[in-house]
Amino acid sequence: MSDTRSLLRAAEIDAERISAVVRLVIFTTLAVALLVAGGPGESSGLAGILIVLYGIGALVGLLLAWRRVFHPVVPYLFVTFDVFLVVAQVLMLTRMMGMPSGSVFAVPAAALIFVILIHASMRFRPWLVIYGALLFAILIEIGSQIMPTGTTTAMHGMMPMMDGGMAGFLNLQVLPLILIALAALTLFVINRRTQNLLVESLRSAARTARLSRFFSPNLAARLANDDTEGALSGRRQPAAVLFVDIRGFTALGETMSPDELGAFLSDYRQRLTEPVFRHDGTVDKFIGDAIMAVFGSPLQREDDAARAVTCALDILAAASQWSAERRAAGQPPVAIGIGAHYGEVFAGAVGDQRLLEYTVIGDTVNVAERLERLSRDVGSDFVLSRALLQASGEAGQKATWRELPPQELKGHRQPVEALCLT
């Protein structure tokens, strides 16, 4: 949830930056309107002051957004600022043109009212639009009552139409308010829908990011978009389990400083988990210098065993390349051992959406771990069970194997048939 809030806050800051740019455009529009419609005089000077104030507000908004300064109250403050100055400017233009009170929508610059409502809706706050519309309606009504106006000669011809009793009242007073209300309602619905889609998208991205710690990118995206709880619910199923461990890690770690050891483990995990994700496996856990990977959980495939064996061979190739690079850099080489088994496991997710941990347990896991330990005794980099080799099909035939005597493994009742890589 915190990830979603953080991403939503970033989106709102971006929206504030865009809104600040829109304010600069409005500022330019108002300045041009003043130059075209105005001239020397008290009204023109006051209008110029309002425009300058609006430009300053636009620059302040842009600066705050650029510095990523944000508080939930900020959008409301800027909308209040925008509405007040636009209404004041429109009323000033109405007075300068000699129009009667209430005829603010006859001024071309009144279209800026709808511009303000539109870019208020960019902030992913639906109620901000309603607030802006109500503020517009209140200020226009108050301004129309207190703003003294005259009537120019050019306006006399329009007076019968504007002062035509109830019809004139509806045209000048009610209709503009209805238009503002309809615009606000439409933008509110659109903004609410956009906000819901954004939040859901951010939550999906956050789920994908969390799942990506354990699953391949493709699998993580699929689990995030599907019914995650259903896919990750506890159940028994066949799966292939790999255990990867560094040989002589304790002695190797004693030669490194804490910083060097941390960098070494990070490099190790990155290099050896990349093949796991490339073959759509799951990194179940890290245990010190050991890595446990699973194929077939949470989603089963017919080629789980084949991908597990291919992945193990790719891990050995990656480790060999890493060792060569370390030798070239004057560092000690790295040797790893792998144990792998195929059988039934119990798989499931533990936790909630804030902290989701996925794991598999069972005899198959124990056998894979014991086979990794056995690899040290038989002098091989890779020991796997016959069950995994048979289930892997053609993938298992890409390497040469040496059959071992049936192995009595600790915690396992029956001897395990195993083979080692030659």
Q: pLDDT tens digits for 376-412?
A: 999 999 999 999 999 999 999 989 999 999 998 887 7
pTM over 0.95: no
* Whether 184 and 274 share a structural domain: no
Taking only the tens place, the pLDDT of each residue in 85-140 is 778 777 776 766 666 555 666 666 677 788 778 867 777 788 888 998 888 888 87
What are 8-64's pLDDT values in tens digits? 677 777 777 777 787 788 778 767 876 776 555 555 676 677 778 878 877 887 788
**Is 223 a domain residue?**
no
Instruction: Confirm whether 50 is domain-assigned.
Output: yes
* pLDDT of 155: 45
343 band by pLDDT with thresholds 50, 70 and 90:
very high
Mean pLDDT of the chain: 79
CATH code at 316?
3.30.70.1230
Is the residue at 262 inside a domain? yes
Domain match, 318 and 390 both? yes
Decide: 295 and 282 in contact? Cβ < 8 Å: yes
Q: Assess whether 199 and 317 both reside in one domain.
A: no
Residues 206 and 256 in one domain: no
* Same domain, yes or no: 199 and 233: no
193 falls within a domain: yes
In angstroms, the CA 241 to CA 311 distance is: 11
User: Letter for the amino acid at 48?
Assistant: G
217 falls within a domain: no
Looking at the structure, do residues 98 and 143 belong to the same domain, yes or no? yes
Decide which of 162, 179, 210 is a domain's last residue: 210
The residue among 157, 183, 210 that closes a domain is 210
For 367, residues 6+ apart whose C-beta sits below 8 A from its C-beta are 241, 341, 343, 385, 409, 412, 416
In a shared domain, residues 407 and 259: yes
201/239 same-domain check: no
Residue 302's domain comprises 228-421
Indicate the number of domains in the chain.
Answer: 2
Q: Is position 95 within any domain?
A: yes
Q: Tell how far CA 159 is from the center of its chain.
A: 57
User: Is 393 contained in some domain?
Assistant: yes
Average pLDDT over residues 257-271: 91
Q: Are both 39 and 187 inside the same structural domain?
A: yes
Q: How far is CA 359 from CA 135, 221, 337, 362, in A?
A: 55, 18, 22, 10
Residue 81 shares a structural domain with residue 205: yes
Based on the fold, state whether residues 338 and 266 are members of the same structural domain.
Answer: yes
Q: What is the 3-state secondary structure (H, E, C) of 110-175?
A: HHHHHHHHHHHHHHCCHHHHHHHHHHHHHHHHHHHHHCCCCCCHHHHCCHHHHCCHHHHHHHHHHH
Domain co-membership, 232 together with 182: no
Give the end of a domain, one of 210, 236, 258. 210
